[in-house]
Amino acid sequence: MTAPITLRSLAPSAFLPPGLFALGQGAIAPVVVITARQLGASSATAALVVAAAGLGQVLADVPAGALATRFGEKRTMIGAAGLTAVAMAACIWAPTLAVFTGAIFLTGAATAVWLLARQAYLTEVVPFHLRARAMSTLGGVFRIGLFAGPFIGSLVISWVGTAGAYAVQMAAAAAAVIVLLCVRDITGRGGHPPGRADHPPVGTAAAAAAPSAVSTRQVLREHRGVFATMGTAVLLVAAVRAARQVVIPLWGAHLGLDPVTISIVFGISGAVDMLLFYPAGKVMDRFGRIWAAGPSMLVLGIGLVVLPLTSSVEMLTVVGVVMGIGNGIGAGLVMTLAADASPPQGRAVFLGLFRVFADSGNGVGPFVIAGITAVSTLGTGIVAMGVVGLLSAGLLTRWLPRATVGR
């Protein structure tokens, strides 16, 4: 008799490799803006450099699904880790801002592969009643990486300078590949809502041989209502979340804080975020997705609105904690919504398309900050994103189904 699938049994294959990869992302997150500034970028241009990672994710989402289906998830992720290593080397030795921006773009493309591959895997194998907890745990291990990364990065930075953060990302990607090669994925077909037929796991021979292949155009046509409503809401959610990644280091630099201090403040915010991922998933599984979605964006939006009022490292830390709470409440939300809406046939295509909306938001957020800062002030740009957060809370409350519960 096959043992039941649990979060613990999934940990080595589904959660540990992405967590290691995210640790490296956490190490470089606070210093991307700093490196851009060192290469001559203004605050507005530095935000655009950060946005390049989001653009890389958007452009890689749909191809990532196709690559994972054709070559298998593990080989595709290993290739993405190699791409990351090349990008980090370019970040360390970038002679110009343009080269550095291109390297950050490549890190976004690699991230798209890692997220889509593990999301598709969990959607297929996890029982529906456990889905939100599985997705929030996947989001949580990324948050754990983003929490630990800045502390590790700040330690290495204190020894060798900002290049040390990029070296941490290279080492983390290598460690993730080692784990991928040493563990085996659990197989199963438990991740379907009641009433949906089973579907072969993405990336397997059975999936490749499925007779009813679905085109991207067909998926767009059949699910245009979902993309028009939930896709729009998810885009705004992601934009606000991406803005949070940018505004803490930008406002810290605006206040004159040094890179190590900014990394520590960033890490504290991530620590609070990290602690809430499992409760967020349990709430979504037990009571419905809406009970995490609305409060998450409401708190995050308020945090952004009040951030420009801070004038010291202590005040910045407090607001960072508030934003960490808001982000943590919604851990795994976007991936859970995508899994809930995904069809049995054409699932990888659907998930890739849905991620386009989320990752477009990741790019839009920093672009909005950059655009408003260029014509007004940094504080105005931050407040504008806070208003977008409050708007997204209202849209989620209106459009999310109340009864999506996996008891």
State the DSSP string of 156-214.
HHHHH-THHHHHHHHHHHHHHHHHHHHS-PPP------TTPPP-PPTTSHHHHT-S---
Q: Token pair for residue 31?
A: 């210093």
What's the rounded mean pLDDT across residues 89-111? 92
Please say whether the beta carbons of 358 and 233 come within 8 A.
no
401 C-beta neighbours (distance < 10 Å), count: 13
b/e code 310-322 from CB counts within 10 Å (16+ = b)? beebeebbebbbb
Dist. CA 19–CA 17, nearest whole Å:
5
pLDDT of residue 402: 54
pLDDT at 219 over 70: yes
When pLDDT is averaged across residues 346-358 and rounded to a whole number, the result is 84
Instruction: Compute the distance between CA of residue 371 and CA of residue 321 in angstroms, rounded to an integer.
Output: 26
Token readout for 45 is: 């241009």
Contacts of 196 (CB under 8 A, 6+ apart): 344
- Indicate whether 207 pLDDT > 50: no
- 239 Cβ partners below 8 Å, 6+ apart? 361, 362, 364, 365, 368, 385, 388
Looking at residue 360, its pLDDT comes to 82
**Cα–Cα dist 267/324, whole Å:** 10
Residue (of 296, 359, 377) closest to 333 by Cα position: 296
Predicted confidence at residue 141, as pLDDT, reads 84
> Could you give phi then psi for residue 3, rounded to 5 degrees?
-70, 145
- The pTM is what? 0.76
Structural domains of the chain ordered from first start? 7-185+214-399 (1.20.1250.20)
Q: What is the DSSP string of 310-364?
A: --SHHHHHHHHHHHHHHHHHTTTHHHHHHHHH--STTHHHHHHHHHHHHHHHHHH
- Under 8 Å between Cβ of 34 and 156: no
Identity (one letter) of the amino acid at 384? A
Quote the tokens at residue 203: 């990336």
Percent of the chain with pLDDT over 90: 27
Q: 239 or 406: which carries more pLDDT confidence?
A: 239
Give the distance, in angstroms, between the CA of residue 101 and the centroid of all CA atoms in the same chain.
19
**Tokens 């409060």 -> residue:** 295
pLDDT per residue as tens digits for the range 254-267: 898 888 888 788 88
Mean pLDDT value of segment 238-246: 87
Q: Tens of pLDDT along 14-28?
A: 889 988 998 998 899
Task: Report residue 406: phi and psi, to 5°.
Answer: -110, 60
Contact between 341 and 219 (Cβ < 8 Å): no
Q: What amino acid is encoded at 157 in this protein? A: I
Determine the pLDDT at residue 44.
Answer: 76
Separation of alpha carbons 376 and 262, rounded Å: 24
Q: Residue 407 — very low, low, confident or very high, per pLDDT cuts 50/70/90?
A: very low
How far is the C-alpha of 97 from the C-alpha of 123, rounded, in Å?
39
